Amino acid sequence: MREPEPPRDGARAETDETGMEQSPPRRRVKIVPSILSADFTRLGEQLAEVERAGADRVQVDVMDGHFVPPITMGPLVVEAVRRATRLPVEAHLMVERPERFVEAFIEAGAALVIVHQEAAVHLHRVVQQIKAGGARAGVALNPATPLSALEEIWPELDLVLIMTVDPGYAGQAFLEGTLPKVARARSLIEERGLECELEVDGGISPETAPRAVRAGADVLVAASAIFRHPEGVTAGVRALRESVERALAQRSESEEEEEGG
């Protein structure tokens, strides 16, 4: 008798007391507000809002004026965010030679440090440096960088970030052409049985988030859609979450119809 195929989205199938296979649980999608679009005169207040609204962690975008044009935040901001919220903080380092800064951001309180493949000459060494410091390690890929750039390091990673815009600025339009790469990354993670989150960042909104989730993303970073929502930060988080829940529900219904023939 042929073994049942493993369920999609990395979830394991369970059986009931009769031995019949049950549907796997829905994949939970995490919402990560990026403070790049926050009002820094009200940062503590807005961090409290996203926490109450059900965000999963907070991202600090670090830019050095070289790898990307703007200059933004450093370890002191991570430290301030860490004191202002109980949510885990991830530091997205859009900087050249990230190995120079990893230790400082971990000491400041970053639980997850993401570096760019394009910016790290010795990527294995940087990933090991992050983990040796006690943080989780992620690697980001720009839109034009192929997944094959991570071929030799996939098993070492806690997270892969597929940029859905070119990094550097909030408020950019979502690049639809990145979705096939997200889908390929999801397939690779599942085929290899990797314990690796798949994050997307750039142009994420209630309109684009469902497409990213359907492609396979399980972590959504959003800046403008949350912090510049016309009804406030809480409404921004909720609108994003609701759009994702609707997309997952529709996909579940579609899969059930397909199985029912």
Catalytic residue set: 61, 201
Q: Is the dihedral of CA 216, 221, 224, 230 positive or negative?
A: positive
Query: Tokens representing 45?
Result: 């207040």
Buried b vs exposed e over 34-56: b needs ≥16 C-beta within 10 Å? Answer: bbbbbeeeebeebbebbbebebb
Nearest partner of 23 among 13, 33, 9, judged by Cα: 13
- Distance, in Å, from the CA atom of 161 to the CA atom of 95, rounded to the nearest integer, reads 15
Element (H, E) at 84: helix 75-84
- Distance, in Å, from the CA atom of 23 to the CA atom of 5, rounded to the nearest integer, reads 12
- Distance, in Å, from the CA atom of 197 to the CA atom of 156, rounded to the nearest integer, reads 12
Give the other-Cβ count within 10 Å of 58's Cβ. Answer: 24
* Cβ proximity of 60 and 47 under 8 Å: no
